[in-house]
Structure 1
Amino acid sequence: MTNTGPRPVTVPDDAQTAAAPSVSRGQVLRSLLWTLLVISAVANTLASFAGADTGVHLVCGAVTAVTGGLLIARRLRQSR
């Protein structure tokens, strides 16, 4: 008896590159900024509950402010 199972599909190289989604540097940067913003905000919240030193709050707040500012600046620049 012969094997009648599914055969592997071969796709030419140019079709593979055309089908692959392209991610721009801007999208990667935006994702990293949002991730950093969330992490710093959560870290600041946890530092509040843990009674951490003021320096920890300042660093977390500064990172949150800078990443938020960069996200706003990028958004305003895109709308122009």
Structure 2
Amino acid sequence: MPHSDPYRLTDADAGDGDRTAGVSRSDLVRTLLWAVVVLSAVTNMAVSYGDTPVAVNLACGIVTVLAAGTLAVRGLRGRR
């Protein structure tokens, strides 16, 4: 009996012609949204310590809120 590998991204039983993508579009979008949240939050924090206009700080905050909100909505819709 073959053991399944939990860390394998593709199906081990799929033939060469039946290969499916291991990472879905939804996973990619979620990863990119998390990257946007982290980068915009770090940028917002760095900008708040510097001598920059308030508009830059607000723009970073808005991007952070929109990306986090999108993640929350996608998470709630995925529970259905």
Distance 1:69 1:21 in 2: 28
Taking every aligned residue pair, what percent have the same amino acid on both sides?
A: 39
Matches within 5 A, 1:2-41: 14=16, 18=19, 22-41=22-41
Q: TM-score, normalised by structure 2?
A: 0.74
Distance 2:48 2:30 in 1: 27
Distance 1:68 1:21 in 2: 27
Equivalent AA in structure 2 for residue 73 of structure 1: V
Structure 1 segments, 4+ long, off by >4 Å, are: none
Aligned-residue offset at 1:53: 0.7
Aligned-residue offset at 1:52: 1.4
RMSD: 1.8
Structure with bigger gyration radius: 1
Equivalent AA in structure 1 for residue 66 of structure 2: V
Aligned-residue offset at 1:21: 6.0
Stretches of structure 2 that go unaligned for 5 or more consecutive residues are 1-14
Is 1:62 matched up with 2:58?
no
| Alignment coverage as a number of residue pairs | 66
Question: Looking at both structures, which has the greater relative contact order when contacts are Cα pairs under 8 Å and sequence separation is at least 6?
Answer: 1
Q: State the secondary structure of the residue aligned to 1:23.
A: coil
Q: TM-score, normalised by structure 1?
A: 0.74
Q: Which protein is richer in helix relative to its size?
A: 1
